[in-house]
Structure 1
């Protein structure tokens, strides 16, 4: 569900939103949830044929909304450095499941006046065929969500029609992804990858529901004999 934006009449007026302290609590709770998921993943490791831990970085790309007719257009959801982390569990038949989270490393400005940070997370069914002695592919499909955190206050508004007071938003998403892993040393591998997100009602905040993430992950895999 998302909260619609509401206009602010004063061009330089500060607005009421969550404090930085409250944002910190939110991020700590999110980190705790991620840690719990990682613990559960390790608990099931003993029954898996292969278990991968991954971490990396990438950036977002977004398609243009050519049907928009608003005078005040939402900005594109693209650019910036996104940090990602996750795990894959792969069985003997090369099918399995995975989970991943990606978040913008630094806050950025929404239409040059309001700071925000997107967080994307998903769980997937995966297929990881072996392509060679050191190479395998991975294909994933699943669902998740996007949280966009807006931070308190702005110092100035330069739009004649006024600025917009945005509140934090959460949206459901569908996810497709793929990559190719190459083992560079023992059980350490590098994986270039691409991800596609269809984010429902993302045009409440940004100009398109379609978002791509391109990046590279580094991982370590465990085998069960």
Structure 2
């Protein structure tokens, strides 16, 4: 009996001693991942039809979608798509329900960040690629564009000021703000729900923004640039409105 147990133990030891080592030297060596592995959730803007089915399917409210309707069109477009990866359950419900295969799980599993706000991924409308002359790099200008716009004379070319380097970035930001402003004007309650949880506060803030276009534009700009500042501005405006309402009620209750 003693010899049988000893032999069995030595057999197990010998088996592990001769087995192939499965340890990998991470991060220099990456592990093998199956095709079904669910890593980081990826969104493809060009495939999205802004149906919102993924938002309804998500049990943890990881996804957020903001849309707008451009002038002269009846089709909705995406103004902002947000994935808050820290709350994702990797349940795959959003991927399965998407009719255009816009969402999928990649093999990227390195999702850690130094700051919590960096975990959230925000997708914005892609910036159109600028047309640059051939020989400099990029896309060659089409012949129709070259024929429509003749080259300026050398004297005129010297007089023309060079465009600032941040023109493209500024134009992109301006388009994003306009899209957010349009969405905020059309359906303020839906957009403000991203900043405020109280339904009564949302109605108060929507009424205030409907009367003040300048304030609405400022809030839309902050929602694109810095969501935290937009939330602070919304909270301050709600506090201001409630204080004004309370003061009016006190004046009304006072005997004349």
What TM-score results when the alignment is normalised by the length of structure 2?
Answer: 0.21
Indicate the structure whose relative CO is greater, using CA pairs within 8 Å and at least 6 residues apart. Answer: 1
Q: Over alpha carbons, which structure has the higher Rg?
A: 2
